[in-house]
Structure 1
Amino acid sequence: MKEIELKLQGKLKRLTNRTFKFDERVGEGWFSAVYFLKTRDIIKEFRPNTVVTMQFFQKEHAVLCGTDEVIALLQTFAAHPEDLEIHSLRDGDMISPFETVMTIKGRYEDFGYLEGVIDGILARRTSVATNVYNVVQAARSGREEKPVIFMGDRDDHFTQQAGDGYAAFIGGTIGQATHAMNEWWGKSGMGTMPHALIQMFGGDVVEAARAYHHKFPEDDLLVLVDYNNDVITDALRVAREFGPTLKGVRVDTSRTMIDQYFIRHPEVLGTFDPRGANAPLIFALREALDAEGFEHVKIVVSGGFDEKRIRSFEAQNVPVDMYGVGGSLLRITIGFTGDNVELNGKPEAKAGRKYRPNPRLERVELTAQEVVELKN
């Protein structure tokens, strides 16, 4: 399989530095519903040069994402893209239910078969961007704004990472877990250690941290402390070992596990759920670190966090400094619809749909299709 890499030279400055990669089989109709392909062939024979206006919308309050990708798609795979008249909102725009986010006017046979592909791009990117935005707002709902790291590499197919990472960036995360997630917006992946590194050192968190710091001395030392299901004990061990060099600890306790702190202190158990990285455990961890003079050590939590759980933490003023969030950000909850609403400049649409002008849309001009680089 080959990929087509395109750096779009469009009218809007937002497009000139974005690099998207597409499977070249998009142009062969491989990813389009067969009825769109059949319609294209019928129109070519029976209604050639029919001009339609295709309009896209969705039904939620959302953060729009995917428009640049769609425009690049049209530049790459539409026949005669320079003849298309495109109006679009921008990635990152806040949109309302049923608001028109994009219109494409041109000959149906030039671009109509891409309708479903466009819907899918907008649906996935907008869903992820909106999910991230809501989580980021939740992390800002307390006394301080807490950054969010996108850790969705294990929650979906790896081929989605670049687009999901870009959508997460649009939604407001400060960093992503993999290099691929950063590909479309020019950064590098960030992260420290997994449980596997600690396992390689026989479960000795200090030894694993020592090896990490030796190998990557320029990195901020952030140590994972839940491997032995005793986060306070292990956090204090690494804090005593590294002192001011230790920048933070991460708690990633499974939602099926109860930390050893509660086994040693059953008197603190009450009506709360003691499993996972819960609020009382984080309060106890902060207190233990501060009691030994490690106020500088930040606390990062991850593992099953979503908007609701983060809002609960912030409402309780849980002393978290950063959230790592994964799977909850990848739920596809927003669907887009593309409709042909004008035929040769006159209103023509299925019942219940009509052309809805949106003064917020900006004109996007595409050039004649340029030579693109084919990569093996």
Structure 2
Amino acid sequence: MDRSPPISPAEAAISSRTDAYFNRTRAIVQRFGDARVTYAVFLRRPVVSAPRLAVEWLEGVARERGTRFEIEVMHPEGTWVGAGDPILTITGSFVELADLETLYLQKLGSPCVAAHNAYQMCLELPKVAFLAMDARHCAGFEMQDMMAYAASVGGRAAQKEGARGFIGNATDATAHWFGAPRGYGTMPHALIGYAGSTLRAAEMFHEAFPEDNLTVLTDYFGREVTDGLAVCRRFPELAAEGRLAVRLDTHGGRFLEGLDPAESYAVLERHAPGAIRRYRSETELRHLVGTGVSAAAVWKMREALEEAGFPKVRIVASSGFNVQKCRVMAEAKAPIDVVGTGSFLPDTWSETYATADIIAYDGQARVKVGREFLLQRKRNGKNGG
């Protein structure tokens, strides 16, 4: 009869979700004698350090197992990390650490890359506020939490350099990462379809949430300018108080109302001629004067608002705002007030793979051939800042 103690749900989850060879390693070390080991954890590309989720998970496992891990954060949260630089070192019982590697690497790599992307985006548009709209692109809640955390880390890092950064996100469950009580957002396209017109959707929203600021989508019927101005005229008080915004989310298959290639160039010639007078890649040209939410589209909307007497109505831009698009918008001096984006999510997932190597066994330095650089960086006491 098996008299071994029952495995807790937490332990069972670790055992079932970790790589099998780590479970077998743990069993072997239990049989032949424990050792005190030190792991170095790193990524192969530059990132912004976002270790909190991994560290908190390791600390929770240590408590569950009645042990202690010495975790040294080599690069504090929100600081730049070079390729191959250890972000963490973890020291403790080999028995208790052997089967954890799979899971803490999952919680480290992708947040660090996403934080780096978010940081870069915010620096490209330092006067623009960002909203994290990543939830719909995430593979479940755990990833959603990691990506919201990452955006908050990257945003705070950019704020230290004078940028506005990420001021919030779209879901209540992860709003705490931004110090907000709830998620931000007013209406999806579905509400406009239900209402039958952009103006009626705005009226419904304001009646239901009269104390909230109003951001209205304007592209549903392809009349971004016409419908945007109609909402402004319906709510002149909100417009005058700066509580009204139009959100541009024009489909990439068409131009914003009133634009075509020639007019797009003309708009930028009026406002940012330097942006179109040098060589541009095809992608950069699309961001400047192409279909969808281009720099020309943002300027066209701003012109219409100013000419109609609504200078305080803000412009929210969304649709594909990654680092490159933010850079092009900055070069065109596009008058964006807020960017809503989930495009800080890592584009090349293989870049998010974090790696851990043991660099010491019972105090004796030892690492596999090819990773000797980890020993050197540990001896140098590498610390990010």
TM-score when normalising by structure 1? 0.82
Match of 1:10 in 2: none
State the alpha-carbon separation in 1 of the partners of residues 108 and 72 from structure 2. Answer: 15
Match of 2:26 in 1: 40
Q: CA RMSD in A?
A: 2.2
Match 2:80 to one of 73, 81, 94: 94
Match 1:268 to one of 263, 267, 284: 263
- Higher RCO (CA 8 Å, separation ≥ 6 residues): 1
Please say if 1:126 is aligned against 2:123: no
- What is the letter of the counterpart of residue 56 of structure 2? A
Please say if 1:359 is aligned against 2:354: no
Gaps of at least 5 residues in structure 2 are 1-8, 156-165, 266-284
Match of 1:227 in 2: 220
- What is the letter of the counterpart of residue 259 of structure 1? L
Please say if 1:250 is aligned against 2:247: yes
State the alpha-carbon separation in 2 of the partners of residues 70 and 328 from structure 1. Answer: 20
State the alpha-carbon separation in 2 of the partners of residues 184 and 223 from structure 1. Answer: 26
State the alpha-carbon separation in 1 of the partners of residues 118 and 199 from structure 2. Answer: 33
Query: How do 1:1-376 and structure 2 match up within 5 A?
Result: 24=10, 27-46=13-32, 48-65=33-50, 67-78=51-62, 80=65, 82-88=67-73, 89-140=75-126, 145-159=127-141, 160-172=143-155, 173-184=166-177, 186-187=179-180, 188-202=182-196, 204-246=197-239, 247-262=244-259, 268=263, 273-331=289-347, 332=349, 333-354=351-372, 355=375, 356-357=377-378, 359=381
SS of residue in 1 equivalent to 2:358: strand
**Which stretch of structure 1 is more off in the superposition, 266-275 or 219-228?**
266-275
- What is the letter of the counterpart of residue 193 of structure 1? M
* TM-superposed deviation, 1:269: 5.3
* TM-superposed deviation, 1:306: 1.0
SS of residue in 2 equivalent to 1:320: coil
Preserved contact between residue 53 and residue 342 of structure 1 (Cα < 8 Å): yes
Cα separation, partners in 2 of 1:69 and 1:39, compared to 1, 3 Å: same
State the alpha-carbon separation in 1 of the partners of residues 189 and 11 from structure 2. Answer: 39
Preserved contact between residue 87 and residue 361 of structure 1 (Cα < 8 Å): no
CA deviation profile, 1:241-300 (whole Å, cap 9, x unmatched): 11131321100011122233136xx75255865310112222121111101110011111
* TM-superposed deviation, 1:82: 4.3
Cα separation, partners in 2 of 1:25 and 1:238, compared to 1, 3 Å: farther
* TM-superposed deviation, 1:186: 4.8
Preserved contact between residue 42 and residue 354 of structure 2 (Cα < 8 Å): yes
State the alpha-carbon separation in 2 of the partners of residues 90 and 328 from structure 1. Answer: 21
Cα separation, partners in 2 of 1:81 and 1:147, compared to 1, 3 Å: farther
SS of residue in 2 equivalent to 1:327: coil
SS of residue in 2 equivalent to 1:178: coil
Preserved contact between residue 164 and residue 181 of structure 1 (Cα < 8 Å): no
**Which stretch of structure 1 is more off in the superposition, 280-289 or 266-275?**
266-275
- Bigger proportion of residues as helix: 2
State the alpha-carbon separation in 1 of the partners of residues 120 and 325 from structure 2. Answer: 12
SS of residue in 2 equivalent to 1:101: strand
Match of 2:275 in 1: none
CA deviation profile, 1:207-260 (whole Å, cap 9, x unmatched): 111110111111111111111111111111111111131321100011122233
- What is the letter of the counterpart of residue 349 of structure 1? V
CA deviation profile, 1:287-332 (whole Å, cap 9, x unmatched): 1110111001111110111111111111011111111111343434
* TM-superposed deviation, 1:361: 5.5
Gaps of at least 5 residues in structure 1 are 1-22, 363-376
* TM-superposed deviation, 1:98: 2.0
Cα separation, partners in 2 of 1:303 and 1:158, compared to 1, 3 Å: same
**Which stretch of structure 1 is more off in the superposition, 223-232 or 320-329?**
320-329
- What is the letter of the counterpart of residue 74 of structure 1? L
TM-score when normalising by structure 2? 0.80
